[in-house]
Amino acid sequence: MKKISIITTIVFVFLYFTSFSQLKVASTGKVGVNIGTNTPLSNLSVNSVGNSNSALWVTGATIGIYAERSGTPGETWIYSVLSNAPVVASRYNIGLRGQSYVTTSPNSGRAWGVLGIAGNSTSGRNYGVFGTTYGSQNGAGIVGTTNNNLDVAVPGIYAGYFVGNVKVTGLINGETVGDSDNRLKQNITGLDNATTSPTGAGTLDKVLQMNPVEYNLKQQYTESEGDSASVQQALYDENSQLFQKKHYGLIAQDLQELYPDLVYENDNGYLSINYTGIIPLLIQSIKELKAVMETLENDCCNSNNNLKSGSLEGNAAKPDLNGAKLYQNNPNPFSVQTTVRFEIPQTVQSAQLHICNMTGTLLKTITINQRGQGNELINANEFVAGMYLYSLVCDGKIVDTKQMLLTE
């Protein structure tokens, strides 16, 4: 019996020390669990030697750290995991760091550096990820960058600051502004008009070639290539107003031929438009159109066969133009031919229909011999697509000027 007792004791001691041999306590007070070494580098090392700068080092675990707790009555702030990194001058001080990547790209699976999920709390007070600034120094509650850019100087105090392209698939509410300070620009020149453009075509002519359209969004789908567990995800919520409502804009491929600098190619190969950049073009077009109208009011045609509005001044007999009228062409716009109607009193001695481009250059003169109500047929094959002005001139006086649009 005594022999059996001794054997039992030896086995127990052996099992005891074998079971707990994975726990190593170094003379420094640091603890290692299953590290295979007697010299742990971290204060607590699990499955690895660790790092001498870390308090806790865990490797080889499906979940590195899992913490769960219940709040004590009376507590306001309840933390599962709290990390506090006091700021040290000239150092990168990180309260919490999450990273999930490998040096090679497996092209499968999912990777989140930080995943935040929140819900079922007070309505309006559920935050998946919450970031804010503290103090008066420049910074941002949330900073996003691309290409592993880890050192960003935020030039103000912002809720969010992003270095790189930003894309949303829903509406953005709020006022949008863009940097436009003169100190941020170089190579500043005025927009072309017909008198300064080397091609003779001003901003107005190019704007008139833009083709506005209306459309609905087409559903797009995203899917991770090479992932055996891939799921096809719709890009738009088809019940949203964004997807159901009509949209108005331009086709990027068409605009690219006129203003390539306003069209950008995204990473997925699709084209997008800088619509804000079109606003200065519209302003310039209005200025050019105003200048043309003022020229036509005072001097419809220039010295190159253009008639002056005061050509009959000085004559004793002034023409009686009461009853002379010019009507809008129909159809307008037109692509084949259009009809211009007019009324000319019997007292008018000479009448012409002058067709000019938007810069005031006379392109064609049609002599009108009929009096009373009449019309002239304009053929599209005589002109190129664009906007034109036509004026009824009776005895040297401009009766009226109107616009007509020729499309391709």
Mean pLDDT of 101-106: 76
What's 330's DSSP letter? B
Cβ atoms of residues 35 and 48 within 8 Å = yes
- For the stretch 368-408, pLDDT in tens is 998 999 999 999 999 988 888 999 999 888 888 898 988 87
Classify 265 as helix, strand or coil.
Answer: strand
pLDDT at 198 over 50: yes
pLDDT at 335 over 60: yes
- For the stretch 299-328, pLDDT in tens is 544 433 443 334 433 333 444 567 889 999
Assign 229 a pLDDT band (cuts: 50, 70, 90).
low
pLDDT at 129 over 80: yes
- For the stretch 134-169, pLDDT in tens is 999 999 999 999 988 988 999 999 999 999 999 888
Mean pLDDT of 173-182: 87
> Higher-confidence residue: 73 or 341?
341
Domains of the chain, CATH where assigned? 203-280 (no CATH), 299-406 (2.60.40.1930)
Q: Taking the model in full, what pTM does it have?
A: 0.63
Q: What is the pLDDT of residue 339?
A: 94
Q: What is the pLDDT of residue 314?
A: 35
Helices vs strands, H then E, count in the chain: 5, 19
- For the stretch 57-103, pLDDT in tens is 777 777 777 777 777 777 888 888 888 888 888 888 888 888 888 77
Terminal alpha carbon distance of the chain: 113
Closest CA to 33 of 53, 60, 11: 60
Percentage with pLDDT > 70 across the chain: 81
Residues counted in the chain: 408
Q: What is the pLDDT of residue 110?
A: 79
One-character DSSP codes across 163-188: ES----SS---S-------GGG--S-
Please state, as a whole number, how many other Cβ atoms lie within 10 Å of the Cβ of residue 32: 26
